[in-house]
Chain A
Amino acid sequence: MNAPLSQPKLFATPQLFDCRDAFAETLEALAATDETVVAVCNDSVGSSKLGGFKTKFPERLVNVGIAEQNMVGVGAGLANGGRLPFVCAAACFLTGRALEQIKADIAYSNANVKLVGISSGMAYGELGPTHHSIEDFAWTRVLPNLPVIAPADRIETAAAIRWAASYAGPCFLRLSRVGVPDLLPEGHVFELGKANLLREGGDVTLIANGTLTHRILTAAKLLAERGIEARVLNMATVRPIDETAIIAAARETGAILTAEEHSIFGGLGSAVAEVVVDHAPVPMKRLGVPGVFAHTGSAEMLLDEYGMTPPAIADAAAALVQRKG
């Protein structure tokens, strides 16, 4: 676990940013200095924000068209031929349509391919459950060799992309398009499998990643007003999960709440629960999409409806504290 941040940036800069911009800027910067960097996409130049990359490095944009199975296989082949492919597509199609390619061609073959799932979770809100990607943690985190990472802000997104480029192996980066505030400090260096301690507290631990991290941080502030001091962990890496931080949270705070823009089955909450059950059983509450196909609405509206407004998270955490032995 990383050292606590003295001043989470959330409350100083309420402005929201689309993490895809940080992804695109970082990828272009990497490509400028590394000629092996290649972007692979499925007619998703716009939605993956690859327009700048296409202008600067047209020959290195490999657009396979609407063909996700081929897209992932091509990524594996490009890596075999010494290129450094970032395979970018809507997370729902990348993971759902090409899961067997991700398993066999990428994870099992241990191909040095960076899978970038764009607009994950319910970012495509009103387009409906066909376009939601609230199963991707579950589908990807069971695969050996495949780190699974969901950054919380534009700073962590840029850091994670840089880390991915330097990491000799495959990974799945789960990005959103839903605006989030800055949380991590400028110059943050991503460390695989290391949670970030965003707030110290001893009564309960709140754990999230992606679009939920800023919500649990705000919930912790509300809890403090009620006399409950919550520890807040940003846990971008879902696999390999930070067992040390989870076990310490269980032992030192006695209760853990998780929140994620994903089904409550098989995602971050499940991964945390697996560690808790094996090493330090304490009361837990998992917040997420409650095992349903979501109804029509924006991602933020749906997160609110499924009990993930900061006040609702605070209420759930307060109830959890009551369950402590």
Chain B
Amino acid sequence: MEINELERMARAIRRRDLEAVYAAGAGHIGGEMSVIDILTALYFRVLKVYPDQPKHPGRDRFVLSKGHTACALYVTLAKRGFLPEEEIATFLAPHSRLNGHPNCNKVPGVETNTGPLGHGLPVAIGMAKAAKLSGAGYHTYVVTGDGEMQEGSNWEAIMAAAQFGLDNLTLVIDHNRFQQGASLADTNGLAPLRPRLEAFGWEVAEINGNAMAEVVPALEHRASRPYCIVAHTNKGHGISFMQDRVDWHHKVPNKDQYEIALAELSEAL
């Protein structure tokens, strides 16, 4: 897909995500809106994946470490053909396979179970290391939240990736500057992320993670070392009253708010 098509797809995914969260009465809408441009670029442009063969050994690996934004992943996977689009209506419903955090044994296209934070990057290191051992040509991508980088396990993994020389690994940090309870700056401020990753031996790029024209080339870039994209994003991106408001981490819009948000996301690009 070209950039303008990707932008339209991202808009459609935002709209479906909003509808699903509103219908379910729960979700993590702020962090979903911030990460959707990255997910869209991955699944509709960058990742080599096979929706009809989700376990194809040569597939690129993608891990959503910020598993609480599962709804955005489900919608993206559905749009890409991994599961029926109508199944999104079952998000959080009793016995649905689409629960609040992705399950790799139930949902096609999910590689590992995430939910507790700080788990995805170590698993991604293992995936990338496996490709080095087997000679497989796939690339491994992992998306973490920025608050999630407070987990020590991530820094264990960051050290290992450099030690192992994993040039087949891309970490995207969805840097929306807010965690559940407050801003990062008021909690355990990690910014600036770039020099920290560079000090650990990674190549780092900084982009606007909600600008498709910057997201795509960053994701397509190949480095000679482990590569981190610090994606500066806006929590609640695309919905004016949610943007950069900490209370929209997992708040659910009321009917009036829902209609305003839907109208904003329905404006022509």
Q: List residues of chain B with CB within 8 A of the CB of A81.
A: 61, 126-131, 133-134, 136
* B129 A78 Cβ-Cβ under 8 A: yes
* B113 A78 Cβ-Cβ under 8 A: no
List 20 additional contacts besides A65-B159, A76-B122; criterion CB under 8 Å.
A38-B133, A59-B133, A69-B122, A70-B160, A73-B126, A77-B112, A77-B124, A77-B125, A77-B140, A78-B126, A78-B130, A78-B133, A80-B127, A81-B130, A82-B130, A101-B153, A104-B114, A104-B119, A105-B122, A105-B123
Interface members, chain A 196-244 (any B CB < 8 Å): none
CB distance from A146 to the nearest CB of B (A): 14
CB distance from B44 to the nearest CB of A (A): 23
Q: List residues of chain B with CB within 8 A of the CB of A75.
A: 126
Q: Is B152 close to A, CB under 8 A?
A: yes
Of all chain B residues, the one with the shortest Cβ separation from A59 is B133
Complex A-B: 11 CB contacts under 8 Å = A59-B133, A64-B160, A69-B122, A70-B153, A73-B126, A75-B126, A76-B112, A78-B129, A81-B130, A108-B103, A111-B112
Q: List residues of chain A with CB within 8 A of the CB of B131.
A: 81
Count A/B pairs, Cβ under 8 Å. 115
Q: List residues of chain B with CB within 8 A of the CB of A304.
A: none
Of all chain A residues, the one with the shortest Cβ separation from B111 is A80
* B123 A80 Cβ-Cβ under 8 A: yes
* A74 B129 Cβ-Cβ under 8 A: yes
Given contacts A65-B159, A82-B57, contact A70 B130 (CB under 8 A): no
**What sequence of 0s and 1s flags, for each residue 59-96 of chain B, a beta carbon within 8 Å of any chain A beta carbon?**
00100000000000000000000000000000000000
Of A59, A71, A108, chain B has the most CB atoms within 10 Å of the CB of A108
Q: List residues of chain A with CB within 8 A of the CB of B112.
A: 76-77, 80, 105, 109, 111
**What sequence of 0s and 1s flags, for each residue 88-130 of chain A, a beta carbon within 8 Å of any chain B beta carbon?**
0000000000001100110011110000000000000000000
Given contacts A65-B160, A104-B115, A108-B113, contact A77 B134 (CB under 8 A): no
CB distance from A84 to the nearest CB of B (A): 10
> Which residues of A are in contact with B by a Cβ distance under 8 Å?
36, 38, 59-60, 62, 64-65, 67, 69-83, 85, 100-101, 104-105, 108-111
Q: List residues of chain B with CB within 8 A of the CB of A64.
A: 156, 160
Q: Is B157 close to A, CB under 8 A?
A: yes
Q: List residues of chain B with CB within 8 A of the CB of A100.
A: 116, 119
Q: Is B147 close to A, CB under 8 A?
A: no
* A73 B123 Cβ-Cβ under 8 A: yes
* A74 B125 Cβ-Cβ under 8 A: yes
Of A65, A75, A78, A101, chain B has the most CB atoms within 10 Å of the CB of A78
4 closest A-B pairs by CB: A77-B126, A81-B130, A73-B122, A70-B156
Bound-state CA distance A52–B164 (Å) is: 21
Q: List residues of chain B with CB within 8 A of the CB of A76.
A: 112, 122-123, 126
Q: List residues of chain B with CB within 8 A of the CB of A38.
A: 133
Chain A interface secondary structure, helix, strand, loop or mixed?
helix
Chain B interface secondary structure, helix, strand, loop or mixed?
helix
Q: Is B105 close to A, CB under 8 A?
A: yes
* A73 B133 Cβ-Cβ under 8 A: no
Q: Is B108 close to A, CB under 8 A?
A: no
CB distance from A186 to the nearest CB of B (A): 34
Q: List residues of chain B with CB within 8 A of the CB of A77.
A: 112, 122-130, 140
Bound-state CA distance A83–B127 (Å) is: 9
* B160 A69 Cβ-Cβ under 8 A: no
Q: List residues of chain A with CB within 8 A of the CB of B126.
A: 73-81, 85
Bound-state CA distance A276–B127 (Å) is: 43
Of all chain B residues, the one with the shortest Cβ separation from A109 is B113
Q: List residues of chain A with CB within 8 A of the CB of B103.
A: 108
Bound-state CA distance A62–B121 (Å) is: 16
Q: List residues of chain A with CB within 8 A of the CB of B114.
A: 104
CB distance from A225 to the nearest CB of B (A): 54
CB distance from A145 to the nearest CB of B (A): 9
Q: List residues of chain A with CB within 8 A of the CB of B122.
A: 69-74, 76-77, 101, 105
Identify B152's interface contact among A65, A69, A110, CB under 8 A.
A69
Q: List residues of chain B with CB within 8 A of the CB of A36.
A: 134
Q: List residues of chain A with CB within 8 A of the CB of B134.
A: 36, 81-83
**What sequence of 0s and 1s flags, for each residue 164-177 of chain B, a beta carbon within 8 Å of any chain A beta carbon?**
10000000000000
**What sequence of 0s and 1s flags, for each residue 5-32 of chain B, a beta carbon within 8 Å of any chain A beta carbon?**
0000000000000000000000000000
Bound-state CA distance A62–B122 (Å) is: 13
Of all chain B residues, the one with the shortest Cβ separation from A70 is B156
Of all chain B residues, the one with the shortest Cβ separation from A77 is B126
Q: List residues of chain B with CB within 8 A of the CB of A72.
A: 122
* A105 B156 Cβ-Cβ under 8 A: no
Bound-state CA distance A67–B111 (Å) is: 23
Bound-state CA distance A72–B112 (Å) is: 13
Bound-state CA distance A144–B136 (Å) is: 31
Bound-state CA distance A110–B134 (Å) is: 21
**What sequence of 0s and 1s flags, for each residue 128-149 of chain B, a beta carbon within 8 Å of any chain A beta carbon?**
1111011010001000000000
Bound-state CA distance A110–B104 (Å) is: 9
Bound-state CA distance A70–B157 (Å) is: 6
Q: Is B226 close to A, CB under 8 A?
A: no
Bound-state CA distance A62–B127 (Å) is: 13
Q: Is B236 close to A, CB under 8 A?
A: no
